[in-house]
Amino acid sequence: MTDSTVYLIGAGPGNEGLITVRGLELVRKADVLVYDQLGTSAFLDQVPEGCQMYDVGKSSGNHKLSQDGINELLAQKAKEFKTVVRLKGGDPYIFGRGGEEYLYLKERGIKVEVVPGITSAISVPAYAGIPITQRGYTTSLAIITGHEAQKEASELNWKALAGIGTVVFVMGVKNIGKICQNLINEGKDPSTPVAMIRNGTLPSQKTYIGTLATMEEIVKKENIQPPCITVVGKVVDLHPELNWFERLPLYGKKIVVTRSRSQASSLLKELKELGADAIECPTIKITEITDNRAFESFIEKQGDYSHLVFTSVNGVEVFIKKLLEANKDLRILYGKKIICIGPATAKAFKDRGIIPDFIPETYVAESMIPYFEKENNAKVAILRAEKAREVLPEALKKLGHQVDIIPLYHTDLEESLNPEVLDYLEKSEIDLVTFTSSSTVEGFAKMLEKTTIKPESIPAAVIGPVTEESCNKYGFNVKIKAQEFTIPGLVEAINFLFCDK
């Protein structure tokens, strides 16, 4: 037996922000990940390289692996690896069969640690504006598995449940008729409010409100599908007043982010915080130039340069990485003026204790020209992507400055469109596609060439005039342009576009 531990971890209800710090920490160092279908998808890309992953998810009528099979898998992997993570939606001990897994492993001498999770029975109603306990509304609470209602000889005490103020049913969509009728039969008022919340805590969340007498018909009419949480009780009446999540400004909007995977996180995060269903669809990837003779030459004669110009965060990151590889550090910047296009590029230096000498008011290359008109005989190194606009170097040369272009990375196009995005586009269900550079526009246009989707059908949001020009070139339908050419500026423009809609 190896010195191993099996961690039974609750992933929460599905929203990636609702896993515990401890849970995410363990996912990120797992040797083996055994995961469920619901509530875990947001964390599958957090595992380290080489982690073995096993999907044992269960859905109604479809069990990829029996519970006995899951138990055996965990025990076997604990013999082979040190850190085995069993990632379960919600909480491991609330209708999660975590107790069964623990006992099975304990009997075999395997060390187990339980990391509680935020159960959907509590979090999903909270995201729908329904506090499941509230003074003046209820003094009692029950949490029930909805599957129990389908059994002829149910173990549930329906008479007792009818007397409880709030009853939360987990996984009860198919049995909603029996649930409502059993409660009515035991004396619950047919007009008792009922809420069914589908895809709770996710951008696709939707809340349906009815009563014990009407909810079954609503489910049929709206064709409500699992997964759902059902809340029965007077607290449902608080939904109209406390429904915060579904009132977020971008709630329900499907917005595509086309930045490279390494850059997408900040835009995805800001859009999701405003309620958007932000979908990652990278159209480019940033690749460092490895055998870089131009950079080697720069290092050799770095003392000759008076000004260093950085046009992107990527340039700063790669520059510092290559400095360290050359056994150099930021002291090489002594005596040079650091010029940055955009606050994000400047922040990459500020975070390392370097204050740039100049950041233009507008974040395009042309905005630097007035600054260099005041300089005399500057020796300028522009550290940037391999392929970029030549406006700045050409203008600086005309002003009499010496200019060297030091390419640090190149931008490659991704080959295929995210299948999820393609499906939404074909159904005309995408509200906006965001573009943060001309290369993202080019990459998306190339991807569309393999489909029947026309560029003019793509509603676009662009970060600035250069990107807008590229969109017009390919025929995209530009809906909004950021006033400030930054990620926060783009988010603000998108928010403005939908704020009155």
What is the rounded distance in angstroms from the CA atom of residue 478 to the CA atom of residue 484? 16
Over residues 79-112, the pLDDT tens digits come to 999 999 999 999 999 999 999 999 999 999 999 9
Closest CA to 196 of 217, 185, 188, 183: 217
- In 189-292, DSSP assigns E strands to 193-198, 206-211, 228-232, 254-257, 277-280, 284-288
Q: What is the CATH number of domain 5-118?
A: 3.40.1010.10
**Residue extents of the structural domains in the chain:** 5-118, 122-247, 254-283+414-498, 295-407
The per-residue pLDDT for 162 is 96
Which ranges of the chain have pLDDT less than 50? 1, 153
Q: Cβ(380)–Cβ(396) under 8 Å?
A: yes
The per-residue pLDDT for 149 is 57
Q: Which CATH number fits domain 122-247: 3.20.20.150, 3.60.9.10, 3.30.950.10, 3.30.200.210?
A: 3.30.950.10
Q: Is 368 a catalytic residue?
A: no
Fold for the domain defined by 254-283+414-498: Rossmann fold (3.40.50)
Fold for the domain defined by 295-407: Rossmann fold (3.40.50)
Choosing from 88, 171, 254, 447, which is the catalytic residue?
Answer: 171
Q: Is 36 a catalytic residue?
A: yes
pTM of the full structure: 0.82
The per-residue pLDDT for 171 is 86
- Residues near 466 by beta carbon (within 8 Å), at least 6 away in sequence: 364, 389, 438
The per-residue pLDDT for 59 is 58
Identify any residues that bridge with 403 across adjacent strands, giving them in sequence order.
Answer: 380
Over residues 132-174, the pLDDT tens digits come to 999 999 999 999 997 765 555 467 899 999 999 999 999 889 9
DSSP string, 448-494: HTTSS--GGG-EEEESSHHHHHHHHHHT-EEEEE-SSSSHHHHHHHH
8-state DSSP, 266: H
Same fold, 122-247 and 254-283+414-498: no
Burial class (CB in 10 A: 0-12, 13-18, 19+), 257: buried
- Residues near 398 by beta carbon (within 8 Å), at least 6 away in sequence: none
Choosing from 36, 91, 277, 431, which is the catalytic residue?
Answer: 36
The per-residue pLDDT for 155 is 77
